[in-house]
A and B are shown apart, each in its own frame.
Chain A
Amino acid sequence: KAGVTQTPRYLIKTRGQQVTLSCSPISGHRSVSWYQQTPGQGLQFLFEYFSETQRNKGNFPGRFSGRQFSNSRSEMNVSTLELGDSALYLCASSWTGGTGELFFGEGSRLTVL
């Protein structure tokens, strides 16, 4: 069974640009969560989607958005990039979205110059 797939793995953007990251969950998983990991702030919850609906949102500005498609694949978008958005963005999927085990992808490492 394929794991969680995140694309792209690495990307470099400049301030002011926008970026879209993609996540394909494990087959059958309906919940997809996104986390931002930085050396200073650690792992921070961005948002969670379940059956195309955002159920939870973390404390991030509106520049961070996401969506989930009917096949459970998810995308997150960051607009008007800032230097502080440089981070490892991790996607995780789970069966039902209760607070159970999460299966993480390898992440998308974003560098903002």
Chain B
Amino acid sequence: SQQGEEDPQALSIQEGENATMNCSYKTSINNLQWYRQNSGRGLVHLILIRSNEREKHSGRLRVTLDTSKKSSSLLITASRAADTASYFCATGEFKAAGNKLTFGGGTRVLVKP
């Protein structure tokens, strides 16, 4: 089963608009990460937010984390056609031994020029 569930499953926007996607998870976590995957390729790490952080920015990305609601959101501002990809949240369980990230189902984002 997947720890993170993402919403929406798919999103279509015009270039220049903002894209927001959400992730919910079930267990206590060390951190939550967001990754991007272009079609059929490997995943690329975007941003990591620790469980004691509430908001983090990286370029045009803004991530929030609400541990009381076990949810996170990823905002991409001023989207570009190159942002077309699938976006996944991933959680690392609190006190888990070793490296075991659990990924959500992903949000497919289409940015139309």
Which residues of A are at the interface with B, using a C-beta cutoff of 8 A? 4, 31, 33, 35, 42-45, 48, 50, 55-56, 58, 88, 90, 92, 94, 97-107, 109
Contact = CB atoms under 8 A, between A and B. Distances in A.
Category for how many chain B residues contact A:
20 to 34
Interface of B: 2, 30-31, 33, 35, 40-45, 48, 88, 92-93, 96-106
Contacts of A100: 31, 48, 92, 99
A97 B42 contact: no
11 contacts: A33-B99, A42-B104, A45-B102, A55-B98, A55-B99, A100-B31, A101-B45, A101-B48, A102-B45, A104-B35, A106-B42
Given A42-B2, A42-B105, A99-B92, A50 B99 contact: yes
A99 B43 contact: no
Contacts of A44: 103
B106 A97 contact: no
B98 A102 contact: no
Nearest to A93: B99
A4 B45 CA distance: 13
Given A55-B98, A99-B92, 4 more contacts: A98-B98, A101-B48, A104-B35, A105-B42
A104 B43 contact: yes
Nearest to B102: A45
B97 A55 contact: yes
